[in-house]
């Protein structure tokens, strides 16, 4: 029998030593717990009475925000399942611009509802099938009840956009100035070319100082005055219908002798080299002046010699212009950025109706108005603290995206939890016509939708149970737009109160939340390589709450300390 293999099942080692593998129902429940922890962090930011979060990064930079996507990005979540919620928040922000907190809460609530089914032994695939069917029914219902506003009357259509912008701002820091900023946002979006509505053509510049209502909208491009050399004071600061030359050329003497080695034998040769440098830069300046351009912008420095040369010829120049500002100028005024001065033709130059350098607050700004090539505008935001202006910028971005979506897709629904309650009622009624376990799962989806009005009530200090009972009763009677009325601590017809949102926001949120829940429910095993495991002792440097201890004991690679501790968002290092 010599040489025969021993009988039995030999152990085969496939993964590296120290690899952590967690699988089965405990792993699925642990992933759901991680997602619920994420949702718990941002749930208080929802609605008109939502609270803000103060997040301090490793470098000490503090950010105050109640935007779901911004908060999740700054938390630096490392748990693999919880990252799914971060991804859907980013997708919602990129696609629609608003509803980032809603989509995360909805996804987490769907997982919470599925938890009981999993513990009872229901296959995750059955739950996924039910959720996907419920999401399809919900999206179809939103499309069915959405109100279409035709763009036949421009005044009515503008009024619709103002209401959508105001609703988007109602939960933000600037809610007290909704009429002022709503008008500014609608004017900015309507300035753009209505065929493509490229929001990148709306520039936003922050100027500390002054009040919020000192902010203004410039119908064109504006950027802060660049670093300038001697001779700048003599240049004209205002032109009508100027030609504009945009360059990527350094107009300084030192540029001609960089990385050069010249061997000379007598002084006259050295003088010839010096003269050559001067003649080269003068030939560049003469070529620019010969084009007839009155405004010269360059991405690279424009030195004191060139500044004085342009001043003598009544030409305005600005060097070291930021790349994004220069690109917007080119998009707005026409022409092209030139990397040489030797062959600048008329088609390479841009035009605008008016150029001006103007004092705004403590800064001087270069303003290009009446641009001929592309319609563009710039929002100049004023305010006290830097963090405050940054949050105003994020709020306006959400409102701009909402107005853009409302123009492209002119279907609107009521906000304030009205749409969610109507879909919930519809799904409950539909579930009773379905046999088997799917009835319970679709009913669970309907119950999960109530998290939005419930959280709005909780954040506003209203009795959520009482309000939800009233809403269920009103929707059963056929009042489809009944929603939470935060101002009067009750319920109201939010369509009549003009709490409007584009239907696309709700559709995107429903699809994204259902997809995220299905992705998490379809995972039954996590394999963590030894090099990527997280040390709990280094992550939690403060007394752990019982919930976090339970997760740590159950082999849960969680690095989401901000959502699990009372001192949460003041330390984002975990």
Among residues 45, 101, 378, 430, the one annotated as catalytic is 101
**375, 221 contact by CB (below 8 A):** no
What span, in angstroms and rounded, lies between the C-alpha atoms of 317 and 236? Answer: 10
H or E segment at 413? Answer: strand 411-414
CA-to-CA separations, 511 to 111, 134, 140, 243, in angstroms, rounded: 14, 10, 11, 50
Supply angle C-alpha 374, 377, 383, rounded to 5: 165
Determine whether 314 is an active site residue.
no
235 alpha carbon, distance to own chain's centre: 40
Q: Which two tokens mark 32?
A: 């759901």
CA-to-CA separations, 498 to 167, 174, 401, 485, 530, in angstroms, rounded: 8, 18, 19, 12, 55
Determine whether 148 is an active site residue.
no
Q: Which two tokens mark 372?
A: 């001929």
DSSP state letter for 205: E
Determine whether 67 is an active site residue.
yes
Determine whether 100 is an active site residue.
yes
387 by Cβ neighbours in 10 Å (0-12 / 13-18 / 19+) ranks as middle
Among residues 398, 419, 430, 526, the one annotated as catalytic is 398
**119, 28 contact by CB (below 8 A):** no
What span, in angstroms and rounded, lies between the C-alpha atoms of 542 and 552? Answer: 14
H or E segment at 222? Answer: strand 220-224
Among residues 52, 67, 98, 485, the one annotated as catalytic is 67
Q: Which two tokens mark 459?
A: 């954040």
Q: Report the SS3 class of residue 444.
A: helix
Which regions of 457-496 does DSSP assign to beta strands (E)?
482-485, 490-493
54 alpha carbon, distance to own chain's centre: 18
What span, in angstroms and rounded, lies between the C-alpha atoms of 28 and 127? Answer: 13
Catalytic (active-site) positions: 67, 100-101, 398
């Amino acid at each position: 029998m010599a040489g025969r293999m021993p009988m039995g099942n030999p152990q085969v080692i496939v993964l590296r030593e120290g690899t952590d593998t967690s699988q089965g129902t405990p792993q699925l429940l642990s992933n759901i717990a991680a997602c619920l922890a994420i949702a718990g962090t941002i749930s208080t930011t929802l609605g008109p009475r939502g609270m803000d979060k103060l997040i301090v990064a490793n470098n000490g930079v503090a950010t105050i925000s109640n935007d779901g996507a911004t908060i999740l990005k700054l938390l630096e979540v490392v748990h693999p399942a919880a990252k799914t919620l971060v991804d859907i928040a980013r997708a919602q922000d990129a696609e629609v611009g608003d509803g980032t907190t809603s989509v995360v809460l909805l996804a987490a609530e769907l997982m919470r509802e599925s938890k009981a089914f999993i513990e009872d032994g229901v296959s995750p695939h059955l739950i996924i099938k039910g959720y996907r069917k419920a999401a399809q029914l919900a999206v179809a219902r939103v499309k069915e009840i959405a109100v279409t506003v035709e763009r036949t009357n421009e005044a009515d259509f503008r009024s619709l956009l103002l209401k959508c912008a105001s609703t988007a701002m109602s939960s933000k820091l600037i809610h007290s100035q909704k009429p002022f900023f709503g008008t500014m946002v609608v004017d900015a979006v309507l300035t753009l070319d209505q065929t493509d509505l490229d929001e990148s053509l709306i520039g936003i510049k922050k100027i500390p100082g002054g009040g919020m209502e000192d902010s203004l909208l410039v119908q064109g491009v504006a950027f802060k005055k660049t670093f300038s050399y001697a001779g700048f004071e003599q240049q004209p600061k205002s032109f009508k219908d100027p030609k504009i030359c945009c360059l990527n050329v350094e107009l300084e003497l030192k540029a001609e002798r960089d990385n050069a080695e010249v061997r000379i034998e007598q002084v006259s040769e050295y003088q010839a080299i010096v003269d050559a440098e001067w003649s080269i830069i003068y030939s560049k300046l003469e070529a620019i002046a010969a084009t007839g351009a009155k405004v010269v912008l360059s991405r690279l420095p424009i030195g004191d010699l060139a500044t004085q040369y342009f001043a003598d010829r009544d030409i305005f120049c600005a060097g070291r212009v930021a790349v994004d500002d220069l690109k917007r100028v080119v998009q707005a005024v026409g022409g092209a950025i030139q990397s040489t001065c030797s062959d600048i033709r008329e088609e390479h130059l841009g035009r605008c109706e008016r150029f001006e350098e103007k004092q705004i607050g403590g800064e001087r700004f270069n303003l290009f108005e009446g641009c001929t090539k592309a319609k563009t505008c710039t929002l100049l935001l004023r305010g006290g603290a830097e963090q405050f202006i940054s949050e105003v910028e994020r709020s306006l971005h959400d409102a701009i995206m909402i107005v853009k979506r409302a123009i492209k897709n002119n279907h609107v629904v009521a906000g304030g939890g009205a749409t969610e309650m109507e879909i919930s009622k519809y799904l409950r009624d539909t579930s009773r016509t379905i046999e088997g376990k799917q009835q319970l799962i679709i009913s669970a989806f309907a119950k999960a939708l109530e998290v939005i009005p419930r959280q709005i009530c909780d954040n506003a200090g209203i009795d959520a149970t009482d309000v939800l009972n009233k809403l269920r009763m009103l929707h059963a009677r056929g009042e489809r737009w009944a929603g939470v009325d935060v101002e009067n601590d009750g319920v109201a017809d939010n369509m009549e109160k003009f709490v409007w949102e584009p239907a696309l926001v709700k559709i995107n949120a429903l699809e994204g939340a259902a997809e995220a829940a299905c992705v998490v429910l379809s995972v039954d095993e996590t394999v963590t390589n030894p090099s990527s495991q997280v040390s709990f002792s280094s992550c939690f440097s403060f007394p752990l709450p019982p919930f976090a201890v339970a997760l740590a004991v159950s082999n849960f690679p969680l690095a989401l300390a901000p959502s699990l501790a009372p001192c949460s968002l003041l330390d984002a290092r975990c």
